[in-house]
Structure 1
Amino acid sequence: MVHWTHAERLWQGQALMVEPHQGFAYAAGAGFRVPVGLGVTLMPLRHPYEAALQARSLAMTTGHPVVAGFGPGARPFQQSLLAEPYSSPLTLAREYLTAVRGLLDGALVDTNGVYVSGHMALPSFPAPKVEVGLGVLRAGMARLAGEVADVAITWMTPAAYLRDTVIPAVTEGAKGPIGPGPG
């Protein structure tokens, strides 16, 4: 569709049958090299280092910019993988996206957070740009997306909710840091 229509990017959400990074890499290997977006992959499935590495690898494989969107997933999913759901998805998202963005920017990320810790850097290598996105369902995550993400990613969101809640919250977050607040 991206080759044959006015679509700008091919999107895939998290899947548990064919993982989206591998699906897009397979498509690129088959000759379908188009801009792609991951909207969203789930944070409990991968460390931020692997998330940044996979996103950059996908940009290199496709030869196009990538939007790498992340989200904490539903509480039951978190609990099934982690024994307990995240006590603060906002704190998780802030730490996770800050680490991923730093790694993609070539920075040495040295962090000791509640959810993300490490002393890490990706080896430098030229690649198309990777924009970091955050899955947004409510105003708190939208504010955080405005602060720390390049892109806010919604799903099945009514236009009125986007207009009245999401866009104002993203705009507010883009003006400066917010507190961690309840997740």
Structure 2
Amino acid sequence: MLRIGLFIGGAGSAGTLQRQISQIVEAEKAGFDSFWAAHIMDVDIMSMLCLAAEQTTRIEIGTAVTPTFLRHPIAMAQQAITVQKVANGRFTLGIGVSHKPVVENRLGMKFQRPWRHMYEYLQIVQSLAREGKVDYQGEMFSANIELTMPSLPKIPVLLAALGPRMLKTAGQLADGTITWMTGVETLKTHIVPTINDAAREAGRETPRVIAAVPLAVTDDREAAFEQSDKYFGRYGQLPSYRAMLDREGVESSAEMALIGNEREVEAMLKDYSDAGATDIAVQIFPVGPKLDDSVMRSKQLLSDLVGKL
């Protein structure tokens, strides 16, 4: 069964801190399985999710994703453990290396050996999250620390993985992957078989594959595509997403949006489930002059489909 969640950050700012928290509270009341937040140049999403955890009781909350270059893995693990203690087991940590233009142009850091960076980073985070201690000497990271917390909550860790090597690492060491700008064919022929094969060879359970997608339920496909291009067209300029678009056989990242009426969008979501996605994380975007009504139409369909796909 496809787990259905909401996603914010893929279309830019999701509003004030309180507005982001209230969206999670509303999503829980509407019955959604999960709520995911992307780290953008906005509030710190792990802090925001920690605050939201205090106001919710059931819904899964997660980062999709928070970039590794912003925190040493010890700090990442400590913050994730803290959020999980507040969330009582409902928090999932999604991490990714981000993109070279972001890391070098915005953060002023060198984007070198991204796979090695993630492999070592994950080793440290997993060791601290599972055992509360780490003694690791790598080529890019080192860590030697023992946490003094009396108990450690389990923290599922997902990798933003698109390339074969990162997908194999996600299958071997993490609990799954989160994709963005990735279509049904790419999931079916590349993402799902690569990560599942790696997990099977490592003797691990079948990993989660969370497909984050833009979506608008509408009768005006032309207007929706124009809006999709406005919100999401820029993603095609990033090499890792460009590679996924090429695999899918589309020119623009705007084409990754699920656009149509209720019946059409339901069929599109079913296609993602059939391709092997275990979860869908939906970035709703508005279409037309009545923006609130547009968003509510999409939310209503998704809420109605929870537990049915």
TM-score, length of structure 1 as denominator length: 0.86
Name structure 1 gaps, 5 residues minimum: 177-183
8 A contact 1:140–1:169 mirrored in 2? no
Q: Distance in 1 between matches of 2:104 and 2:61?
A: 29
> Per-residue displacement from partner, 1:124-176 (whole Å, max 9, x unpaired)?
33354210111012222111110111121111310111110011110232214
Q: Distance in 1 between matches of 2:157 and 2:184?
A: 23
- State whether structure 2 residue 164 is matched by structure 1 residue 145: no
Query: What code does the residue aligned with 1:74 have?
Result: H
Structure with the higher fraction of residues in helix conformation: 2
Q: Distance in 2 between matches of 1:59 and 1:22?
A: 11
What is the aligned counterpart of 2:91 among 58, 63, 66?
66
Residue 66 of structure 2 is matched in structure 1 by 41
Of 154-163 and 117-126, the range deviating more from structure 2: 117-126
> Per-residue displacement from partner, 1:27-46 (whole Å, max 9, x unpaired)?
234x2344211111001000
Q: What secondary structure does 1:96 align onto?
A: helix
8 A contact 2:162–2:179 mirrored in 1? yes
Q: Distance in 1 between matches of 2:153 and 2:27?
A: 18
Residue 32 of structure 1 is matched in structure 2 by 56
8 A contact 2:130–2:154 mirrored in 1? no
Q: CA deviation at 1:121?
A: 2.5
Rg larger for: 2
Name structure 2 gaps, 5 residues minimum: 1-25, 203-309
Runs of 4+ in 1 over 4 A off after TM superposition: none
What is the aligned counterpart of 1:3 among 15, 28, 45?
28
What is the aligned counterpart of 1:84 among 102, 110, 115?
110
Residue 121 of structure 1 is matched in structure 2 by 146
Residue 179 of structure 1 is matched in structure 2 by none
Q: CA deviation at 1:107?
A: 4.5
Aligned length: 175
Please report the RMSD computed on the Cα atoms of aligned residues, expressed in angstroms.
2.0
Q: CA deviation at 1:120?
A: 1.8
Residue 20 of structure 1 is matched in structure 2 by 45
Give percent identity, aligned residues only: 27
Residue 181 of structure 1 is matched in structure 2 by none
Distance 1:128 1:105, change over 3 A: closer
8 A contact 1:106–1:124 mirrored in 2? no
TM-score, length of structure 2 as denominator length: 0.53
Q: Distance in 1 between matches of 2:110 and 2:174?
A: 26
8 A contact 2:132–2:152 mirrored in 1? no
8 A contact 1:65–1:129 mirrored in 2? no
Matched ranges for 1:101-180 at <5 A = 101-174=126-199, 175-176=201-202
> Per-residue displacement from partner, 1:1-55 (whole Å, max 9, x unpaired)?
44223422211111221010111122234x2344211111001000111111111
Distance 1:53 1:107, change over 3 A: closer
Q: CA deviation at 1:63?
A: 2.1
Query: What code does the residue aligned with 2:196 have?
Result: T
